[in-house]
Amino acid sequence: MSVQHGLSRTATAHAQREVQKLVDELNGVTAAVVATVDGFDLASATTGDADPARVAAMASSIVAISSVVAEEARLGRNESVMILTDSGFAVFCSVHRRDGDLVINVLARDGAVPALVAYRAGQLAKSLAEA
């Protein structure tokens, strides 16, 4: 179930179109979710059985932890995190907006190209920051 949390209908529709496009166009991507920083999904597209609400909550936690690490290490504002596993990876991107930050989470199988997925997730973050 998607919750808007202050994001305009136009921005929400844009997010939905873009996550669907990302999943459709990138080989191996199984889910893409745009969420609020407090873990509520706003837009999602999946090819498998991933639960967007659970993915959103997970993304919120990972980005929160990475933000603290970046701050404590004096590395600047967190932009993205990638978790590599033996059968795939997850990319988490922060979206900094005037009306509130968002989180993008992209899940992919090991056949996907990590650099391409990270690049497209970053492009989505920039697009959503301006929407």
pLDDT by 10s per residue, the chain, length 131: 444 456 788 888 999 999 999 999 999 999 999 998 888 999 999 998 888 988 888 888 888 888 888 888 999 888 889 999 999 999 999 998 888 889 999 999 999 999 999 999 999 999 998 87
Q: What angle do CA 25, 81, 70 make, to 5 degrees?
A: 150
Amino acid (one-letter) located at 93: C
Nearest CA among 52, 68, 122, 70 for reference residue 92: 122
Q: What are the chain's domains?
A: 9-130 (3.30.450.30)
CA distances from 117 to 49, 71, 95, 105, 120 (A): 20, 25, 16, 11, 5
Structure-token pair, residue 84? 């590599």
pTM of the full structure = 0.88
